[in-house]
Structure 1
Amino acid sequence: MTELLRLDDVACIRGDRLLFEGLSLALNRGEALWLRGPNGAGKSSLIRLAAGLLRPAAGTALRRERVALIDEAAALDAELPLRRALDFWARVDTVDGHSVDRAMDVMALAPLAEVPVAMLSTGQRKRAAMVRVIASGAPIWLLDEPANGMDEAAQARLVAAIARHRANGGAVMLASHFALGVPDLAELDMGALA
C-alpha cells in the first residue's frame, strides 16, 4: 500500500487546552479511518491538522497528495445557484465541468443545479459539499461530520461514494459520531487520547 498521509508524534493545543499529544498514524491508499469520540475530544482539530489548516504544537504532518475537506462550513457562495457555486471550486481545483456533473449525479443534486445555495436544506448543503470533494479528484478526503442533516438515502450515497473512492486508491479520514456503515473502517477513539 502507498502512504498518502502521515502524522508523527503530533500534539494539538487549542486555546490553553491540550487536546492530544504523541499521536502517530498513517493513511494508505484504499484505507479509511473513523475518528470517534465526544464533542471537544479533538476530532475536528485532527482533521484540520491533517488538512494543513492547523499547525501541530509538536510533531509533523505529511500529505503526499492533494486533500479535499468537508468541515462545518459548506464553503459555497450562498447567493449563487448551486451549479455556479460548484463551478467556482472546479476552477480552483482545475477540474472540468464533467467532473461536477458526475459528482452531482452521485449525490442526486442535478435537479437542484439552479437553486441558490442559500435555499438548500442542511442535508442538501452537506451533499453539495460532498459534490465538491468528489469532483476535486483529490486522493485524500478529510470529512468532518459529512452526514449531518442527511437522510438515509443521502447517507447511503455518501457511503457508496466513499467505497468508490477507496476502490480507486483514495483514502478517507472521517470524523463522525457514528460509523455510517462504512465497511472495513479503522477506528481511533479520540476520547481515549485526552
Structure 2
Amino acid sequence: MRLVADNLSVARSGQIFFSGISFSLSAGEALVVSGPNGVGKSTFLRVLAGLLPDSDGSVRLEGADVETVAEGAHYLGHRNGMKRELTVRENLEFWRDFMAPGDSDANSVRLSVLEAVKAVGLDGIDYLPFGYLSAGQQRRIAMARLLVSHRPLWILDEPTSALDVQSQEMFSGLVAGHLGSGGLVVAASHHALGLDNARSLVFQPGAEAALGDRDPFAAEVSA
C-alpha cells in the first residue's frame, strides 16, 4: 500500500499556498508536516483528505480497496468532531457506524467503543456527555475515534494539542501501533510527535516546501 502525491498545487483567491509537491509513503511510514503558522499546512492536509479540491496534481492511495483517498482515511483536525450534548459512547458509536467499512477483515482490526476509550486512558467515562470533559480528555476521545473503525491512512492536524506529556506518549504509542500494522500517517505539528520511520515536509513562506528523509524534530526527541 502506498500514498502517492503527484505535483500537488493549491491556490485560493489568487494566493498560492503550495505548488509542485510530490511524494510517496509506503505502508508503515509517516510524513511529519511542519512550518510557521499560515503557510498552508492545514490546507495541505485537507487537500489530502479530500475536503478541499486541489488546483493541480493528484493524490491516490494505492493497494487499498478504496476508490478515493477520503474513503481510506481518518481526518482529525483542530476540532474534535464530537457533539457536546451526546455522551462519549454515543459519539463514538456514531463514528463507528458512520465509517464502518464493508469488508470483515477491516472490521476485525477495529476496537469496540469501550476498548477504544480504555486505549486512550479514559476507561469508565463513556457515560459522560462529551461537553463535560476537559480539553485534554476531549482530545483523547477524539483519538479514540481513530480506533473504532479501521482506516489505513491517518491524517492528523496538531493531534497533541491540549495534551499533557503522559497523553502525548500515549498518542505516540497509538500511532506506532498503527504504523506497525502497515498503516500510514500524515501529521502536522510544531513539535516532536515521537514517530519512528518518519519523513518530513517543511513549509516555508512564499509557497515553498521541502521534502526530507527524516523527522524534522528527531533531534528534539533524542535531546
Same fold (TM over 0.5): yes
Report the secondary structure of 1:110's partner residue: coil
**Offset at residue 123 of structure 1 (A):** 1.4
Provide the secondary structure at the position in 1 that maps to 2:194. coil
Three-state SS of the structure 1 residue aligned to 2:193 is: coil
Give the structure 1 partner of residue 194 of structure 2: 181
**What corresponds to 1:117 in structure 2?**
130
Equivalence for 2:24? 26
Please report how far the alpha carbon of residue 13 of structure 1 lies from its aligned counterpart in structure 2 after TM superposition.
1.6
1:28–1:91: structure 2 CA closer, same or farther, 3 Å change rule?
A: same
Q: Deviations over 1:48-68 (max 9, x none)?
A: 111111111111121344100
8 Å Cα contact 1:34-1:179 kept in structure 2: no
Q: Distance in 1 between matches of 2:91 and 2:36?
A: 33
Specify every segment of 5 or more residues in structure 1 that has no aligned partner in the other structure, as ranges.
none
- 2:168 corresponds to: 155
Question: What is the 5 A alignment of 1:32-181?
Answer: 32-64=30-62, 65=64, 66-94=72-100, 98-181=111-194
Deviations 1:63-103 (A, max 9, x none): 34410010012111110011111111111122599532222
* Unmatched tracts of structure 2, length 5 or more: 65-71, 101-106, 209-223
In structure 1, the residue corresponding to 2:142 is in which secondary structure? helix
Distance 1:98 1:146 in 2: 20
**Shift of residue 131 of structure 1?**
0.5
Per-residue deviation at 1:191?
1.6
Q: Distance in 2 between matches of 1:155 and 1:140?
A: 20
AA at the equivalent of 2:132: M
* TM-score for both structures, normalised by structure 1: 0.92
- 8 Å contact from structure 2 (residues 4, 59) kept in 1: yes
| Number of matched pairs | 192
What is the one-letter code of the residue matched to 1:88?
F
CA contact 2:32–2:186 (8 Å) conserved in 1: yes
Structure 1 stretches (4+) deviating beyond 2 angstroms? 95-102
**Structure 2 counterpart of 1:189, which letter?**
V
Distance in 2 of aligned mates of 1:149 and 1:130: 12
Q: Aligned partner of 1:23: which letter?
A: I
1:143-167 Cα deviation digits (max 9, x unpaired): 0000000011110110000000000
Higher helix proportion: 1
Following superposition of structure 1 onto structure 2, how do residues 9-20 of structure 1 map, counting pairs within 5 Å? 9-20=7-18
Q: Which residue of 1 aligns with 2:69?
A: none
Distance 2:117 2:204 in 1: 35
Structure 1 vs Structure 2: percent identity of aligned residues? 33
Structure with greater contact order relative to length (CA < 8 Å, sep ≥ 6): 1
CA contact (8 A) 2:26 2:184 kept: yes
